[in-house]
Copies of this chain bind each other. A is one copy, B any other.
């Protein structure tokens, strides 16, 4: 299995969740995080003065799925979370040895 960890813009979360559901992906774990990328944050105007915000709020989606479906999930997230502007986020793919459903004890590899 693969753990897909996507750090996206919070305002894109609803669209990504919907796009995943449209293709049958419902399970996910969501964490409020903050972060920065290669541009080291953003420069905003506040009352006419520039202020530098270096760690920006983001939403992290963690979705674990079988190997065959990983690329479809990545593709749905990538195309839906993309605005074309810097700061759209990153997706990390981590190997998962197994996943267990607590209620049933079922194990997936």
A residues adjacent to B (C-beta < 8 A):
2-3, 6-8, 17, 21, 26-31, 33-40, 55, 58, 60, 64, 74, 77-78, 81-103, 105
Q: How far does the alpha carbon of A60 sit from the alpha carbon of B3 in the complex, in Å?
A: 15
Copies in the complex: 3
Q: How far does the alpha carbon of A35 sit from the alpha carbon of B28 in the complex, in Å?
A: 5
Question: Given A21-B40, A36-B27, do A90 and B101 touch, yes or no (CB 8 Å)?
Answer: yes
Which among B33, B94, B100 is the interface contact of A91 at CB below 8 angstroms?
B100
Nearest-neighbor residue (CB-CB) of A34 within chain B? B30
Contact A38–B29 (Cβ < 8 Å) = no
13 A-B pairs with C-beta separation under 8 A:
A6-B102, A26-B38, A64-B90, A77-B102, A81-B102, A87-B103, A88-B101, A89-B102, A90-B100, A91-B100, A93-B96, A93-B100, A94-B94
